[in-house]
C-alpha cells in the first residue's frame, strides 16, 4: 500500500470548525437548504466535467449522460447525493473540504465577532456550501474519484464535523462524487420520498441537469416476482436551464432560487433582468443585482459574478469581459449560441460579439438601476449603501456611460442632517441658488470632517448646499467626473472659491480692501512659515475659524495626499495656501504682537490648527503641544 493510500486523520483548520458550529446554529431554522447546496455542488462538478471534456473526451469514460441522483437507505438512516461529474483527487479533497484557502475567506473569519446574531448575518454572505450537510447529519462520508484517474484513486473522506476528519484511498469504479449523510436521529423526515421530491423541485428545478430519484414501486413484490436488479430512476426536477425558458413561464420564486444557485448567496436579489437576443449574435442573459455586498468585494482575486455558457455548456466564471469592474457585484449568466465552444480567455479579449454582449449588459444593469432609483427609492438606497463605493469607480472606468452613471450616484450633503448618501446630482441642481453655477463639494477623511470643515463656512452662511465626499474612492471619482448636466463640480478647498454671481459687488470690494490693509501682516506670517506654504492671503470663505488651508485649482487635494500617504504611496509635496480670516479676533491679536518669538509661535499654532480642523494630521504634534502650552502659560502670566 502506498503512503498515499494510508488512512490519515487530520484536524480541520481552526476556521473550518468555527464555520461548522456557526452553520449548524444559524441555519437550523432553514435546514432543508443542505440539499440545495449539495445538489448545487454536484451540478457545478458536472459542468466542470463537461467543460474539461471539450478537450479530452476520454474523461466521459463510458458514461456521458450527466446526472445527479438522490437515494436513501431507511434502515441505515442515510441519504446520498451522487453525481457523475468531475470528482476530486485526494489532494483536491484536502484542499477544498477541510481547508479554507482563499485570502478573502480568511478575512471573513477575522470579521466574525462571536456575537451570534451578527455572525449569522455574515454567514449568509459567505455561503457555506458543503458544510451545510452537518445541519442534518452527525456524520458525513464523501467518496469521490476524479474523472480520468484509475479506479484505485478513489478517496474516502469522513467526518463528524467535530474538529477532525479522516481521509483514505479506496476503489471507486464510477467517476464523480457520492456524499453520504448519516442523518441525525431527529432529521429522519429527509428519508421521506415525498419530502425530498418537493425540496428538489423547490430548489433545483432550474439546474440544467436531471436530478433523479428512484422510481417508487407500489405494494410489496409478489411472492416469486423478480426484483429488478438495478433500481430504475426518474427525473424529479425540470432539468432545463432556467435562462432558456420563456420569461412568462418563470415565477419570481424560481428566479430567486436560481439566483441563490449562481451567486452562492443566501439572500434574495434586489432585481433581475432576463433577456433573449436574436439575430446574428444570439444569446440569453440573466443578470441579478444582489441585495448585499459579498464579503470579498474588495478582494482582488475575487471571481467575477457573470458566468459564461456557450450553448448550455459552462465555460468560465471569471468572464470579466462580460461586465466592467465597477459592476463586478452583478451575478448571473450569459449563454451564447454563436461563440465557439473552445473559447478561451484570449479569444474573449478581442471578440466583437463579446464586446456587444458586454455593452448591452451594462445598459441593462444601468437601466435596472435607473428604474429602481425612480420607482423604488428605498430599495435603491439599500443598493447604494451596499455598492455605492464600487459604482463610484464607474465614471473613471467607462467614459461612454459617464453621464448615466453620474445620474445614479448618491452623496451625503449639507442639505441633510445625517450622513446618509442619498442626494443625487440632479437633486442638488434642483436646489441650486439663483445665480449659482457650480456643484460644490468637499472631500475629507470622514463624513464628520467634511461636514465641519472650515472650508464650508461661507457657503453655509449663504445657504449654499455642499456635497460631503468621504469615501476613499471619491477623490478618484471627482478627478474624472468634472461636470454633470453642464454644471462643473467645484471643490470648496481648492482655488479662490469664486462664488461668481452669488457674491455681491460690495463683498468683493471689501475683500480687496482688506487684503491691501493687511499686506504687512500677511508678509510677516509668510516669513515665519517659509516654504511650508505657497502663499498667505486673506480669506473670504471663513466666517468662524481664524484660518484654513487650500490648494490651487489643479493641485492635488490635501485629502488625496493623505489617502495616498496612508496606503504607503508618495504624495508629491505641494505646499498649501494659507488663508486668514481677518474678522477673527485672534488675527487682530496676532497683528498687535510685538514679540517676534511669540508671533512665530502663534502663527505656527494657527497653521497646525487649520490642518487639524480639516481632519489632517500634524507632522510634529509634540511641537504643537509645546507651543500651545507656552502660549497658555504666557496668558496666565499676563
Ligand atoms: P462552493 O460551491 O461555493 O465552492 P462548497 O463548500 O459548496 O463551496 O464546496 C467547496 C468545494 O468543494 C467546491 O468548490 C468544489 O471544489 C468541491 N466540491 C464540493 N462538492 C463537490 C462535488 N460533488 N464534486 C466535486 N467537487 C466538489
Ligand atoms: Mg457549493
Does one domain contain both 492 and 514?
no
**% of the chain surpassing 90 pLDDT:** 57
Q: What strands, in cross-sheet order, belong to the sheet with 439-443? A: 412-413, 467-469, 439-443, 487-491, 483-484
Does one domain contain both 251 and 279?
yes
pLDDT of residue 572: 73
- 96 alpha carbon – ligand 1 mean position (Å): 7
Instruction: Place 381 in a pLDDT band, splitting at 50, 70 and 90.
Output: very high
Q: Is 83 annotated among the ligand-binding residues?
A: yes
Does one domain contain both 28 and 93?
yes
Q: Is residue 223 part of a domain?
A: no
Instruction: Place 149 in a pLDDT band, splitting at 50, 70 and 90.
Output: very high
Does the pLDDT value for residue 370 go beyond 90? Answer: yes
Q: Is residue 34 part of a domain?
A: yes
Cα separation, 27 vs 125, in Å, equals 13
Name which residue sits closest to atom 18 of ligand 1, judged by CA: 41
Cα separation, 336 vs 628, in Å, equals 70
Mutation choice for ligand 1 from 13, 44, 125, 260, CB with most ligand atoms inside 8 A: 44
- Looking at residue 86, the DSSP 8-state letter turns out to be -
Name which residue sits closest to atom 8 of ligand 1, judged by CA: 129
User: Per DSSP, which regions of 298-457 are E strands?
Assistant: 306-310, 313-316, 331-336, 412-413, 439-443
Check pocket membership of 140 for ligand 1, CB cut-off 6 A. Answer: no
pLDDT of residue 478: 94
Q: Quick one: which atom of ligand 1 is closest to the CA of 128?
A: 6
Question: Which residues, 6+ apart, have CB-to-CB distance to 192 below 8 Å?
Answer: none
Does one domain contain both 302 and 340?
yes
Does one domain contain both 519 and 533?
yes
Instruction: Place 316 in a pLDDT band, splitting at 50, 70 and 90.
Output: confident
- Residue 420, CA distances (Å) to 390, 430, 501 in order: 16, 19, 30
Check pocket membership of 46 for ligand 1, CB cut-off 6 A. Answer: no
Question: Which of 501, 536, 558 delimits the end of a domain?
Answer: 501
Pairing of strands 271-277, 283-289: antiparallel
Does one domain contain both 159 and 253?
no
Does one domain contain both 79 and 148?
yes
Does the pLDDT value for residue 1 go beyond 50? Answer: no
List phi, psi (to 5°) of 563: -60, -50
Q: Is residue 2 part of a domain?
A: no
The position carrying cell 516654504 is: 531
Q: Is 356 annotated among the ligand-binding residues?
A: no
Q: In the numeric block, which cell numbers belong to residue 418?
A: 445625517
pLDDT of residue 560: 84
- 496 alpha carbon – ligand 2 mean position (Å): 57
Q: Is residue 1 part of a domain?
A: no
Ligand nearest to the CA of 42: 1
- 432 alpha carbon – ligand 2 mean position (Å): 51
- 585 alpha carbon – ligand 1 mean position (Å): 70
**% of the chain surpassing 70 pLDDT:** 89
Instruction: Place 565 in a pLDDT band, splitting at 50, 70 and 90.
Output: confident
The mean pLDDT of 241-258, rounded to a whole number, is 93
Name which residue sits closest to atom 21 of ligand 1, judged by CA: 41
Which range, of 97-106, 418-427, 508-517, averages the lowest pLDDT?
Answer: 97-106
Ligand nearest to the CA of 155: 1
267-304 pLDDT, tens per residue? Answer: 899 999 999 999 989 999 999 999 988 777 776 556 66
User: Per DSSP, which regions of 262-372 are E strands?
Assistant: 271-277, 283-289, 306-310, 313-316, 331-336
Pairing of strands 211-214, 233-235: antiparallel
Check pocket membership of 294 for ligand 1, CB cut-off 6 A. Answer: no
Q: Is residue 342 part of a domain?
A: yes
Task: Write down the pTM of the prediction.
Answer: 0.77
CATH at 358: 3.30.230.80
Q: Is residue 222 part of a domain?
A: no
322-367 pLDDT, tens per residue? Answer: 899 899 999 999 999 988 776 776 777 778 888 999 999 999 999 9
Question: Whole-number mean pLDDT of the chain?
Answer: 87
- 468 alpha carbon – ligand 2 mean position (Å): 41
pLDDT of residue 390: 93
Higher pLDDT, 187 or 317: 187
Q: Which domain holds residue 441?
A: 392-501
SS (H, E, C) 407-471: HHCCEEECCCCCCCCCECHHHHHHCCCCCCCCEEEEECCCHHHHHCCHHHHHHHHCCCCCEEECC
271: left (phi over 0), alpha (psi -120 to 50) or beta: beta
Give the side-chain half-sphere CA count within 13 A for 94.
12
Which range, of 13-27, 235-249, 383-397, 456-470, averages the lowest pLDDT?
Answer: 13-27
**CB-based contact 166:158 (threshold 8 Å):** yes
Terminal Cα distance for the chain, rounded: 94
The mean pLDDT of 103-130, rounded to a whole number, is 63
**CB-based contact 127:265 (threshold 8 Å):** yes
Total domains in the fold of the chain: 4
CATH at 540: 1.20.120.790
pLDDT of residue 358: 93
Higher pLDDT, 554 or 286: 286
- Greatest mean pLDDT range, 118-122, 243-247, 377-381: 377-381
Mutation choice for ligand 1 from 12, 38, 80, 130, CB with most ligand atoms inside 8 A: 130
Does one domain contain both 538 and 483?
no
CATH at 107: 3.30.565.10
Pairing of strands 331-336, 306-310: parallel
Cα separation, 327 vs 367, in Å, equals 13
Q: Is 130 annotated among the ligand-binding residues?
A: yes
Q: Is 23 annotated among the ligand-binding residues?
A: no
> Quick check: helix, strand or coil at residue 487?
strand
- 232 alpha carbon – ligand 1 mean position (Å): 28
Instruction: Place 567 in a pLDDT band, splitting at 50, 70 and 90.
Output: confident
385-397 pLDDT, tens per residue? Answer: 999 999 999 999 9
Does one domain contain both 63 and 172?
yes
Does one domain contain both 60 and 209?
yes
Instruction: Place 122 in a pLDDT band, splitting at 50, 70 and 90.
Output: low
Does one domain contain both 422 and 531?
no
Q: Is 41 annotated among the ligand-binding residues?
A: yes
- 262 alpha carbon – ligand 2 mean position (Å): 9
Q: Is residue 328 part of a domain?
A: yes
Q: In the numeric block, which cell numbers belong to residue 212?
A: 433523479
Check pocket membership of 45 for ligand 1, CB cut-off 6 A. Answer: yes
Q: Is residue 383 part of a domain?
A: no
Name which residue sits closest to atom 16 of ligand 1, judged by CA: 96
> Quick check: helix, strand or coil at residue 491?
strand
CATH at 426: 3.40.50.11260
Question: Which of 501, 520, 541 delimits the end of a domain?
Answer: 501
pLDDT of residue 512: 81
Check pocket membership of 36 for ligand 1, CB cut-off 6 A. Answer: no
- 37 alpha carbon – ligand 1 mean position (Å): 9
Question: Which of 458, 483, 501 delimits the end of a domain?
Answer: 501
Q: Is 266 annotated among the ligand-binding residues?
A: no
The position carrying cell 432545463 is: 240
Does one domain contain both 128 and 255?
no
219-228 pLDDT, tens per residue? Answer: 666 666 666 6
Give the side-chain half-sphere CA count within 13 A for 569.
8
Higher pLDDT, 492 or 129: 492
Amino acid at each position: 500500500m502506498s503512503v498515499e493510500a494510508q488512512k490519515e486523520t487530520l484536524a480541520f483548520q481552526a476556521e473550518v470548525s468555527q464555520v461548522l458550529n456557526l452553520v449548524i446554529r444559524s441555519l437550523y431554522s432553514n435546514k432543508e437548504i443542505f440539499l440545495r447546496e449539495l445538489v448545487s455542488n454536484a451540478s457545478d462538478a458536472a459542468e466542470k466535467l463537461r467543460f474539461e471534456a471539450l478537450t479530452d473526451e476520454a474523461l466521459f469514460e463510458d458514461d456521458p449522460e450527466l446526472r445527479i441522483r438522490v437515494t436513501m437507505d431507511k434502515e441505515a438512516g442515510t441519504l446520498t447525493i451522487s453525481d457523475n461529474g468531475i470528482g476530486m483527487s485526494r489532494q483536491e479533497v484536502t484542499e477544498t473540504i477541510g481547508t479554507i484557502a482563499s485570502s478573502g475567506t480568511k478575512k471573513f473569519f477575522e470579521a466574525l465577532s462571536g456575537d451570534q446574531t451578527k455572525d449569522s448575518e455574515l454567514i449568509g454572505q459567505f455561503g457555506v456550501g458543503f458544510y451545510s450537510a452537518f445541519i442534518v447529519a452527525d456524520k458525513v462520508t464523501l467518496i469521490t474519484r476524479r474523472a480520468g484517474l484509475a479506479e484505485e484513486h478513489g478517496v474516502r473522506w469522513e467526518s463528524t464535523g467535530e474538529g477532525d476528519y479522516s481521509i483514505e484511498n479506496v476503489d471507486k469504479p464510477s467517476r464523480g462524487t457520492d456524499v453520504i449523510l448519516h442523518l441525525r436521529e431527529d432529521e429522519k423526515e429527509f428519508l421521506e420520498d415525498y419530502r425530498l421530491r418537493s425540496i428538489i423541485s423547490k430548489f433545483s428545478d432550474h439546474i440544467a441537469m436531471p436530478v433523479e430519484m428512484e422510481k417508487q414501486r407500489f405494494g410489496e413484490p409478489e411472492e416469486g416476482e423478480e426484483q429488478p436488479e438495478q433500481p430504475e430512476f426518474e427525473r424529479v426536477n425540470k432539468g432545463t436551464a432556467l435562462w432558456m425558458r420563456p420569461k412568462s413561464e418563470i415565477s419570481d420564486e424560481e428566479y430567486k432560487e436560481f439566483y441563490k444557485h449562481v451567486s452562492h448567496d443566501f439572500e434574495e436579489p434586489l432585481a433581475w433582468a432576463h433577456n433573449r437576443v436574436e439575430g446574428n449574435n444570439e444569446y440569453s442573459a440573466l443578470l441579478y443585482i444582489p441585495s448585499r455586498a459579498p464579503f470579498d468585494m474588495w478582494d482582488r482575486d475575487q471571481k467575477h459574478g457573470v458566468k459564461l455558457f456557450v450553448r448550455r455548456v459552462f465555460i468560465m466564471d471569471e468572464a470579466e469581459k462580460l461586465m466592467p469592474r465597477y459592476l463586478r457585484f452583478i451575478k448571473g449568466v450569459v449563454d451564447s449560441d454563436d461563440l465557439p465552444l473552445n473559447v478561451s480567455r484570449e479569444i474573449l479579449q478581442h471578440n466583437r460579439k463579446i464586446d456587444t454582449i458586454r455593452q448591452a449588459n451594462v445598459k441593462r444593469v444601468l437601466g435596472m438601476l435607473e428604474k429602481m432609483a425612480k420607482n423604488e427609492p428605498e430599495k435603491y438606497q439599500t443598493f447604494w449603501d451596499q455598492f455605492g463605493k464600487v459604482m463610484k469607480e464607474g465614471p473613471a472606468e467607462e467614459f461612454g456611460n459617464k453621464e448615466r452613471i453620474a445620474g445614479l450616484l448618491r452623496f451625503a450633503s449639507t442639505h441633510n442632517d445625517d450622513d446618509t448618501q442619498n442626494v443625487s446630482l440632479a437633486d442638488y441642481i434642483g436646489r441650486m441658488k439663483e445665480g449659482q453655477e457650480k456643484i460644490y463639494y468637499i472631500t475629507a477623511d470622514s463624513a464628520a470632517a467634511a461636514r465641519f470643515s472650515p472650508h464650508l463656512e461661507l457657503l453655509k452662511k449663504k445657504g449654499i448646499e455642499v456635497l460631503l465626499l468621504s469615501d476613499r474612492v471619491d477623490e478618484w471619482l471627482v478627478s474624472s467626473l468634472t461636470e454633470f448636466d453642464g454644471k462643473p463640480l467645484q471643490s470648496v478647498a481648492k482655488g479662490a472659491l469664486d462664488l461668481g454671481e452669488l457674491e455681491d459687488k460690495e463683498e468683493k470690494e471689501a475683500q480687496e480692501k482688506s487684503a491691501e490693509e493687511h499686506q504687512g501682516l500677511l508678509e510677516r506670517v509668510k516669513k515665519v512659515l517659509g516654504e511650508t506654504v505657497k502663499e498667505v492671503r486673506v480669506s473670504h470663505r471663513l466666517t468662524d475659524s481664524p484660518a484654513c488651508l487650500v490648494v490651487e485649482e489643479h493641485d492635488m487635494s490635501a485629502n488625496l495626499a493623505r489617502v495616498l500617504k496612508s496606503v504607503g504611496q508618495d504624495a508629491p509635496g505641494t505646499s498649501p495656501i494659507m488663508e486668514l480670516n481677518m474678522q477673527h479676533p485672534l488675527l487682530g491679536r496676532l497683528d498687535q504682537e510685538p514679540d517676534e518669538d511669540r508671533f512665530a509661535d502663534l502663527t505656527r499654532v494657527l497653521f497646525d490648527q487649520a490642518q487639524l480642523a480639516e481632519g489632517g494630521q500634524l507632522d510634529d504634534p509634540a511641537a504643537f503641544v509645546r507651543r500651545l502650552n507656552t502660549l497658555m502659560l504666557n496668558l496666565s502670566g499676563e
